[in-house]
A and B are shown apart, each in its own frame.
Chain A
Amino acid sequence: MRNDTGAHTLSFTATREDYRIAWLAALAITIHIAESMLPSPLPGIKPGLANVVTIAALLLYGWRAAVWVSLLRVVVGSLLIGTFLTPTFVLSFSGALASLAVIGLGSLLPGRGLGPVGYCLLASMAHIAAQFYVAYRLFIPHEALFGLLPVLMTAGVGFGLASGLLVRAMMAHFKSDAGPGAPTA
């Protein structure tokens, strides 16, 4: 970055990993915005395709990368849609944090650990659970909200499974292509 006088030069050294994260985050943000424009059959239910990118980042570059991709998506995405710091943002953000926490713990599992499907399912369910809890605590402390929980969780499991299969297909593609190595925490 250069200022107008040209007297000082401030430079960042962007690593290869930074570029990767930026690319993945950009992809996630695009999906995030596209999804927010999609009509939803039921309140609170979205496919959560952006989750695919987070899990891919986790499997390819580790948990820290997944955190960056996920948080950049939520913050930048909401800034672009104009929901930053609104309830919608608070819900997205809490869902993202819970997902990251759960997949972070999941990545500590010994042995072969979790694969794409397991990560996506966990992330999706944690996302729903956290959003639901935050919505109930902060916005709508109404007992009837619990009536929605089974439906939301069904959608969460369904979409989590679908995105897990998607990530698995992607990984197979990457592996045959470049082979970035085993996931690490």
Chain B
Amino acid sequence: MTRADYFVLAGALLLLPWLYASYWHRGGVGEEVRIVGADGREILASLRKDREIRIEGPLGTSVIEIHDGKARFVSSPCHGQLCVHAGWLHLGGEFTACLPNRVSLAVVGPELRYDTINF
């Protein structure tokens, strides 16, 4: 290994803790899920109510299930099925997506819902 190699390795190892400190925020148990489809349309669904949501993307229909305070991709017409393998999400900030079908699923806590309340 050259000196430059060690320098790069050290940089990488310093970068990681910093990334975790900056972005690894996990909220408490989530309140609802925000689903964003290919056309940018958003669906916000409560985690307290069991239901199945079908959302159309460029490849076909992605099916998302909400059950017992958790949400997951049941199926998606993508090649990798990564979103399906991600399994159940239930914590605020948890996130998965079917990139090929352009559908994302994120659990949000109540604090993200509104920036302010008009009353």
Taking CB atoms, residues of chain B closer than 8 Å to A86 are: 100
> Is A36's CB under 8 angstroms from B79's CB?
yes
Interface of B is mostly: mixed
Instruction: Assess whether B26 is interfacial by the CB under 8 Å rule.
Output: yes
> Is B20's CB under 8 angstroms from A150's CB?
yes
Instruction: Assess whether A112 is interfacial by the CB under 8 Å rule.
Output: yes
Taking CB atoms, residues of chain A closer than 8 Å to B93 are: 144, 147
Contact of B36 among A113, A135, A142, A160 (CB under 8 A): A142
> Is A113's CB under 8 angstroms from B13's CB?
no
- Complex Cα–Cα for A118 and B1 (A): 8
- Complex Cα–Cα for A105 and B9 (A): 17
Q: Which residues of A, 13-48, contact B by the 8 Å Cβ criterion?
A: 36, 39-44
Residue of A nearest to B7 (CB): A118
Taking CB atoms, residues of chain B closer than 8 Å to A41 are: 85
Known: A44-B82, A139-B99. A112 touches B104 (CB 8 A): no
> Is A146's CB under 8 angstroms from B23's CB?
yes
Residues of B whose CB lies within 8 Å of any CB of A are 1-5, 7-9, 12-13, 15-16, 19-20, 22-26, 34, 36, 79-80, 82-83, 85-86, 93-97, 99-100, 102, 104, 106, 108
